[in-house]
Amino acid sequence: MKQATAPRPHTASYYAASVASEPGYPALEGVVSTDVCVVGGGFTGVSTALTLAERGYRVVLLEANRIGWGASGRNGGQLIAGVSGEAKVRRRYGEDIADLLWKMRWLGNDIVHDRVAQYGIDCDLRNGYIEAALKPRQMRGLEAEHRELEARGHPHEFRLLDAAETRATLGTEAYIGSLITMRNGHLHPLKLCLGEARAAHSLGVQIHEGSRVTAIQHGARPRVVTGQGAVEADSVVLAGNAYHALERKHLSGLTFAAGSYIIATEPLPEAVRREINPLDLAVCDTNEIVDYYRLSADGRMLYGGRCNYSGRAPRDIAATIRPRMLKVYPRLQEFRIDYQWGGRIGIVLNRIPALGRINGNVYYVQGYCGHGVNATHIMGEVVADAIAGTMERFDVYERIRHFRIPGGQWFGNQLVALGMLYFRLRDLLP
């Protein structure tokens, strides 16, 4: 067999620097047999594996690099209810599906909270999220969201804030109003992913890092091939999202990788933290091209945004993101930037995650469009249900038709980047 390829280390982020040293998992060697083979060690793969293990399945999980290496270990850490493209799914099926989508919207939050409690995962989980409007039409959208929360009898705290209340809550003049939802919140994503992997491993999941999948041989029991081994399974789950490179015949053109970038300041004095975010909320504006930020457990400002659809990463991330942060919080000018990093997120043109099956027993799920912490956990359960034969929620997404852009990743990214100019222009409108 081929020589094993060493897994790439985690990117030099605040998250990677603030986790305890992990012993890691060995590369796959030889041929093993199992019920389900999961390809990808991010939130989708780990969550699916853990759900299946809890239900008694034998699972092998293969990760090309390290657990949480991709977006799951690099993202903004915002646990926000919902799955991207929900409004389009609702229009596709009509109001009969509204109740199902509402229950799914909050499912990821419930799964994360339950697992943190059940498995004792220390991931800095905090409740509280504020969505901030910069323009009247955005505020009208938040008011509509507030009305739906009221109509649904949402059991957790939520409230609308006017401009003065928002200013007192966030210490900035940038916004004209906002909506707080306390069931949403924020966390340390890499700690969560690693903790869920430990939980899955404790239930018998075989986890192999440094085990890049090179091919899938289809059949009644597909064979998943790596450089030094193979896994034979009844079912396979492809959970690579923006980093997938398999099944190009079936999946090419479905998703496109976009870049998102984050900076972390030095720890801020307590007085500054009380001024800019006294409730320790996750924050996101309501632009089409969003900025998102929050405080870390040790008091740093983690500020992210500037989703890049061109496929070209900025040479200096801090030089790109820091001015955006200072526009909202000029008083952070004096504080040092300690970390800067980026990663790729999977984008689907219609903003609805792409779920489906190949030959009936190879499942794929990808394309969370930057809203993955909650959605990955939802889809992990949806895929686990489908493997067990319960297809209701899986079918909702599998039946969605997705437009594929021909011409490969580069050409696709250029078209998507061109299309995103429309959304950038929308952000400039009142």
CA distance 54 to 205: 10
At 163, which amino acid appears?
A: A
Neighbours of 203 (CB within 10 A): 17
Q: Which of 89, 83, 99 is nearest to 400 (CA)?
A: 89
CA distance 46 to 61: 8
CA distance 375 to 81: 8
Neighbours of 176 (CB within 10 A): 16
pLDDT per residue as tens digits for the range 118-175: 999 999 999 999 999 999 999 999 999 999 999 999 999 999 999 999 999 999 999 9
Whether the Cβ atoms of residue 77 and residue 19 lie closer than 8 Å to each other? no
Give the least confident one: 69-83, 301-315, 378-392, 402-416.
402-416
- Residue 252 CB burial class (10 angstroms; 0-12, 13-18, ≥19): middle
Q: Is 399 helix (H, G, I), strand (E, B) or coil?
A: coil
Predicted confidence (pLDDT) at residue 303 exceeds the cutoff of 70: yes
Predicted confidence (pLDDT) at residue 417 exceeds the cutoff of 60: no
Confidence of residue 424 (pLDDT cuts 50, 70, 90): low
Whether the Cβ atoms of residue 386 and residue 394 lie closer than 8 Å to each other? yes
pLDDT per residue as tens digits for the range 202-227: 999 999 999 999 999 999 999 999 99
Predicted confidence (pLDDT) at residue 369 exceeds the cutoff of 50: yes
Q: What is the model's pTM? A: 0.93
Beta-carbon contacts of residue 401 (< 8 Å; ≥ 6 apart): none
Residue 242: its H or E element: none
Give the least confident one: 230-234, 287-291, 351-355, 376-380.
287-291
Q: What are the φ/ψ torsions at residue 343 (nearest 5 degrees)?
A: -170, 180
Q: Which of 110, 46, 51, 48 is nearest to 79 (CA)?
A: 110
At 84, which amino acid appears?
A: S
Sign, CA dihedral 14-16-17-19, equals: positive
Predicted confidence (pLDDT) at residue 78 exceeds the cutoff of 80: yes
Mean per-residue pLDDT, 325-346 = 94
> Which pair of tokens denotes residue 201?
């491993």
Question: How far is C-alpha 242 from the geometric centre of its chain's CA atoms?
Answer: 11
Give 343's strand partners: 260
Whether the Cβ atoms of residue 209 and residue 26 lie closer than 8 Å to each other? yes
CA atoms within 13 Å, Cβ hemisphere of 402? 27
- Residue 6 CB burial class (10 angstroms; 0-12, 13-18, ≥19): exposed
Predicted confidence (pLDDT) at residue 1 exceeds the cutoff of 60: no
Whether the Cβ atoms of residue 352 and residue 22 lie closer than 8 Å to each other? no
DSSP secondary structure of 141-180: HHHHHHHHHHHTT-SS-EEEE-HHHHHHHHS-SS-SEEEE
